[in-house]
Structure 1
Amino acid sequence: MPDTPNQQIRTAVTQRITAHVIYGWPHLGEPVVRHRGQFCYVGAVLPGDREPTPILRLRYQGSADRWAIAIYLASQDRYTESELPASFGPMTATPEQGIDHTFILYAGPSQR
């Protein structure tokens, strides 16, 4: 299993994340997506804010459809893979599921 996603996967995942956020949370506009090593970081400009807020980090698990989900804890200024409620589903999922599991906590339910 590769440790980091290749450029093709990074580009495809960025496009998938952007489309999913614009579709489900159009009031947030385009998300801020960046990649570093095995991680993909996603943020958004929340209502009332001027700067993007970090929301989640995805950790590559060897496939474009398999990422470990970590939510950003603003109170501790860090990402954690262990703080999502168990009711939100698996801690390893597609990028879209990661968005659904975390954006709801920061930006409310999807508007689709």
Structure 2
Amino acid sequence: MRKSVFDRCFPPRRSSPCFRRRARPRATVTLPLIRLRYGGSASIWRFGLYLAGSGAYENQILPTGMSAGTPQEALDCACDLYLSH
């Protein structure tokens, strides 16, 4: 099974129903990355990506076309956009 970009860069961890994750591509740099919002079960989370231009999080749709999914899907989407290029 292929590991996601997020799993390759950061160890997995669980947190509260709503949390923000910061990417640490270098030890001296901290980047806002994603906001997850609990949707009622462990497999339903909505997410927002951090937009540097506005300094805020904006709700997003997953590549599957759904507005909610697992935290792994949201983090994979964010990491593919921000960290893999």
Q: How many residues align?
A: 81
TM-score, normalised via structure 2 length? 0.73
CA distance in structure 1 between the aligned counterparts of 2:40 and 2:62, rounded to whole angstroms: 25
Unpaired runs of 5+ residues, structure 1, are 1-18
1:93 has 2:78 as partner: no
Across the aligned residues of Structure 1 and Structure 2, the Cα RMSD in angstroms comes to 2.8
1:63 has 2:41 as partner: yes
Amino acid at match of 2:19: C
What fraction of aligned residue pairs are identical, expressed as a percent? 25
Match in the other structure for 2:19: 40
Q: How does 1:1-112 map to 2 (within 5 A)?
A: 21-22=6-7, 26=8, 28-30=9-11, 35=16, 38-47=17-26, 50-81=28-59, 84=60, 88-89=63-64, 90-108=66-84
TM-score, normalised via structure 1 length? 0.58
Corresponding residue SS for 2:25 = coil
Larger Rg: 1 or 2? 1
Is the strand fraction higher in 1 or 2? Answer: 2
For the Cα contact (< 8 Å) 1:32–1:42, is it kept in 2? Answer: no
For the Cα contact (< 8 Å) 2:35–2:48, is it kept in 1? Answer: yes
Deviation at 1:88, TM superposition (A): 1.6
Corresponding residue SS for 2:39 = strand
CA distance in structure 1 between the aligned counterparts of 2:62 and 2:35, rounded to whole angstroms: 19
Corresponding residue SS for 1:76 = coil
